[in-house]
C-alpha cells in the first residue's frame, strides 16, 4: 500500500544536542500509528515537526506526495490534540467545536450540522451548551477530539492526550478512540510512553529510543520478535539471563550460563559470534517452574535439564501466579503461570525448583 504520510530522514538538533536523527517512517492512509518510547526519545519532536510547530535541521515530510515543510502550520489542515485539553474556557462546548470551522469561514448551516455530527460522534450531544468547567476531564478531552476532527483533517496528531486522566477513565477513552478511528477512517499519529495504550490502540507502533526508531511493527510483531534488547525490554516484561554465546552445527546458537548449564536459542541477533557475552531474553509467561520432585531430572525443550532456582516470592494474581526466583548466580527473575494448578505444584517460598522454557520462545541478544 502506498504511503500517505512520509517522514524521510528527519534530523533535529538544538546546539550540540541531537533530538532526533535519521527518523524515517511511511504511514498508510487511515492507519493508527503510535510513536512509543520513553521521555526524551524524540517521539514528540517528530510529531511537532509534522505539525509545523518545529522545523527540522534536515529531512522531509510529505503528505500525499506534497512537501509540508514550506507550509505554515495553520495551512497544513492537520488536526491536533494535546495532553492538556486546551479548550477555550469562555466558549460553550458547541462553540469550541465550531471554532475551527468559523476560522475557515464555513457557512453557518454547515457549522451547525458539523457540530451536531461531531458531538454525536464523541457521545456528548447533551453537553453542547455547557461550559468546559462543567465537564469532567474525560469529557473535555472528547470535546478536544471533536474540535480537532470538525474540519475533516486528513491527519490527526495526538500528543499523550490521555496521560492526565486516571487509569479507569483512560481505558474508557481508549475504547472511544478506537471506535472514532474506525468510524472516521482518519489517519492518526499518536504519541505515548504507555506500552499497554500503544498495544490497545495501534495498527502499528514505531518504537523510539535516543532519537531514533528502533523498530516498526504491529504490537504482536514487536512483542514476539523484538529487533533489539531495548524493544524487548520496553514492550512487555522480559528476563535477561547472561550467557557466553556458543554456536551449534545445526545453525542455531546458544549459550552457557554462569553456573555452566548450556541452553539453545532458535532466534538470535545476526551480529553475535561464538564467545561473545550475550543475554538470553525470556518472557515471564514463557517460562515453566517445577518442583524438584515433579521435574525428576527430565529434559525440557530448552535442551537443558532445567535451570535450578530458589523461590523467593509467590504472588496470587487471580488468573495467574507470579513467582520471583533466584538463579545460582543470585539474579532474580520473574515467572508467570496460570493459577489453575497452584495448589498442587509444590512451589512455596524457600523451595528449590527447576525452570525450563522452549527454545523457540527465547531471543539471544548482545549483553548490554
Q: Which pLDDT belongs to residue 1?
A: 62
Q: Which pLDDT belongs to residue 70?
A: 92
Mean pLDDT for the stretch of residues 66-78: 93
**203 and 93 both lie in a single domain:** yes
**166 and 281 both lie in a single domain:** no
**195 and 289 both lie in a single domain:** no
**279 and 217 both lie in a single domain:** no
- Examine the fold and report which residue of 229, 247, 269 is the final residue of a domain before the chain moves on: 229
Per residue in 196-247, pLDDT (tens digit) is 999 999 999 999 999 999 999 999 999 999 999 999 999 999 999 999 999 8
Residue closest to 233 by CA, chosen among 42, 356, 363: 363
**8 and 56 both lie in a single domain:** yes
- Examine the fold and report which residue of 180, 212, 229 is the final residue of a domain before the chain moves on: 229
- CATH assignment at residue 98: 3.40.50.300
- Of 299 and 124, the structure prediction assigns the larger pLDDT to 124
Per residue in 7-66, pLDDT (tens digit) is 999 999 999 999 999 999 999 999 999 999 999 999 999 999 999 999 999 999 999 999
**220 and 263 both lie in a single domain:** no
**Containing structural domain, residue 107:** 3-229
**146 and 246 both lie in a single domain:** no
**81 and 169 both lie in a single domain:** yes
Q: Which pLDDT belongs to residue 298?
A: 47
**176 and 241 both lie in a single domain:** no
- CATH assignment at residue 288: 2.40.50.140
Q: Which pLDDT belongs to residue 297?
A: 47
**260 and 219 both lie in a single domain:** no
**166 and 28 both lie in a single domain:** yes
Distance CA 16, CA 37 (A): 22
**44 and 156 both lie in a single domain:** yes
Average pLDDT, the chain: 92
Count structural domains, the chain: 2
- Examine the fold and report which residue of 212, 229, 246 is the final residue of a domain before the chain moves on: 229
Q: Is 299 a residue whose pLDDT tops 50?
A: no
Q: Is 350 a residue whose pLDDT tops 50?
A: yes
Q: Is 304 a residue whose pLDDT tops 60?
A: no
Amino acid at each position: 500500500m502506498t504511503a500517505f504520510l512520509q517522514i524521510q530522514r528527519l534530523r533535529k538538533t538544538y546546539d550540540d544536542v541531537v533530538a532526533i536523527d535519521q527518523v524515517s517512517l511511511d504511514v498508510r492512509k487511515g492507519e493508527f500509528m503510535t510513536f512509543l518510547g520513553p521521555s526524551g526519545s524524540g517521539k514528540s519532536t517528530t510529531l511537532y515537526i509534522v505539525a509545523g510547530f518545529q522545523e527540522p535541521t534536515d529531512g522531509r515530510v510529505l503528505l500525499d506526495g506534497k512537501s509540508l515543510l514550506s507550509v505554515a502550520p495553520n495551512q497544513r489542515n492537520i488536526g491536533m490534540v494535546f495532553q492538556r485539553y486546551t479548550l477555550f474556557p469562555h466558549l460553550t462546548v458547541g462553540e469550541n467545536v465550531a471554532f475551527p470551522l468559523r476560522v475557515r469561514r464555513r457557512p453557518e448551516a454547515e457549522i451547525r450540522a458539523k457540530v451536531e455530527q461531531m458531538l454525536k460522534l464523541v457521545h456528548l450531544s447533551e453537553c453542547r451548551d455547557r461550559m468546559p468547567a462543567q465537564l469532567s476531564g474525560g469529557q473535555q478531552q472528547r470535546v478536544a477530539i471533536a474540535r480537532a476532527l470538525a474540519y475533516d483533517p486528513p491527519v490527526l496528531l495526538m500528543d499523550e492526550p490521555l496521560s492526565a486522566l486516571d487509569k479507569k477513565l483512560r481505558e474508557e477513552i481508549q475504547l472511544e478512540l478506537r471506535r472514532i478511528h474506525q468510524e472516521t477512517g482518519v489517519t492518526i499519529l499518536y504519541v505515548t510512553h504507555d506500552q499497554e495504550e500503544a498495544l490497545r490502540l495501534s495498527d502499528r507502533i514505531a518504537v523510539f529510543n535516543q532519537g531514533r526508531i528502533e523498530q516498526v511493527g504491529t504490537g504482536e510483531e514487536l512483542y514476539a520478535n523484538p529487533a533489539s534488547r531495548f524493544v524487548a525490554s520496553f514492550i512487555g516484561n522480559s528476563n535477561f539471563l547472561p550467557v557466553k554465546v556458543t554456536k551449534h552445527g545445526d545453525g542455531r546458537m546458544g549459550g552457557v550460563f554462569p553456573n555452566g548449564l548450556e541452553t539453545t536459542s532458535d532466534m538470535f541477533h545476526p551480529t553475535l559470534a561464538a564467545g561473545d557475552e550475550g543475554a538470553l531474553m525470556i518472557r515471564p509467561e514463557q517460562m515453566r517452574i517445577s518442583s524438584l520432585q515433579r521435574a525428576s531430572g527430565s529434559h525440557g525443550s530448552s535442551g537443558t535439564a532445567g535451570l535450578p532456582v530458589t523461590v523467593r516470592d509467590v504472588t496470587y494474581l487471580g488468573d495467574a501466579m507470579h513467582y520471583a526466583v533466584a538463579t545460582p548466580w543470585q539474579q532474580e527473575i520473574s515467572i508467570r503461570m496460570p493459577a489453575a494448578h497452584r495448589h498442587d505444584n509444590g512451589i512455596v517460598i524457600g523451595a528449590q525448583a527447576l525452570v525450563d522454557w522452549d527454545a523457540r520462545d527465547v531471543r539471544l541478544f548482545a549483553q548490554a
